[in-house]
Amino acid sequence: MVFFLAASVAGGYCANVITDDMGRKITVKAPFARIISLYAGHTENLFSLGLDSEIIGVPPSETYPEKALAKPVFSYHDDLEKFLGARPDLVLIRPMIDRGYARLLAGLEKNGITVVSLQPGNIDEIYRYWRTLGALTGKEAESDRLVDGFKASLEAVRKSVREISPRKKVYFEAIHDRMKTFSPDSMAIFSVETAGGINLAKDAEPVRDTNIAAYGKERILSHAAEMDVFLAQSGPMNHVTIDLIRSEPGFSAIRAVQNQQIYLIDEVLVSRPTVRLLEGIRTIAKILYPELSLKDR
């Protein structure tokens, strides 16, 4: 994702030229004011920037913040006419929608509606992504404050765990029935490492262009004797329970299982590029080090 600052345009607004994650170049001559979001992460971030009335549509999976639940629901399965009837000036999507619903997107663009596809994969991309949302909506100052505040809170967590020794060794499960973990540069692993944990699956390689990595039971069990904590995301991507993990054939050899150190964390706190990632990091820190006193700033 690339962000450029361009020349001023009529009315004094400084135009921004943005290249989205699918290579579209968008010139933002004025803030977009009628936005349909087709990804709950986009919606949450728009609210974090102080937007509300500008958000005229949200995806069916919306759960947070509460104000989002009152918005009209849109899906990439809907027909073009439903979108046109809402008169959006911007539709925010992810690359997976680009790849699967090209006909809908072409129809939107043909009718003069701007489509922007964004999905950050790591922490540096998240900062750029927040600032891109700010540029699209005229909330540049708010996005700068969002980034700066998040960085300050991260540094406070780092200071809190800096002197901890020894560090807990963690396996972080992404999808149980496929024995998948997260790629080393993912938001989830960033969360574990920022919280003071050591990622045992450093050799995991991502599947295609995702943050998920195939690992397999054999490699999981190769860490059985040193695994202090078995952490698993829980949610639509991973319908799992502690009992299911505990009863998995072969897992009785894992030290974390033997010591009842199996924990679940809501996937939206570790896999969604929002400020609630900080809540996920702090939750993991308390799982790993229950006696830890976490600083706020």
- pLDDT tens digits, one per residue of 74-93: 999 999 999 999 999 999 99
CA–centroid distance for 199 within its chain: 19
What are 18-64's pLDDT values in tens digits? 999 999 999 999 999 999 999 999 999 999 999 999 999 999 999 99
Measured CA to CA, the distance from residue 207 to residue 175 in angstroms comes to 12
Q: What is the DSSP letter of 226?
A: T
pTM to 2 decimal places: 0.92
Helix H or strand E encompassing 246: helix 242-246
Measured CA to CA, the distance from residue 23 to residue 122 in angstroms comes to 19
What are 188-215's pLDDT values in tens digits? 999 999 999 999 999 999 887 789 999 9
Domains within the chain, CATH numbers bracketed:
2-138 (3.40.50.1980), 164-288 (3.40.50.1980)
What are 231-270's pLDDT values in tens digits? 999 999 999 999 999 999 999 999 999 999 999 999 999 9
Measured CA to CA, the distance from residue 19 to residue 117 in angstroms comes to 9
Per-residue pLDDT, 7: 45
The SS3 assignment for 43 reads: helix
Look at residues 4, 2, 39, 33 and name the one whose alpha carbon lies nearest to residue 19. 2
3-state helix, strand, coil in the chain (%, to 5): 40, 20, 40
Measured CA to CA, the distance from residue 64 to residue 245 in angstroms comes to 28
Measured CA to CA, the distance from residue 129 to residue 122 in angstroms comes to 10
Residues 6+ apart with CB under 8 A from 152: 297
Helix H or strand E encompassing 158: helix 140-161
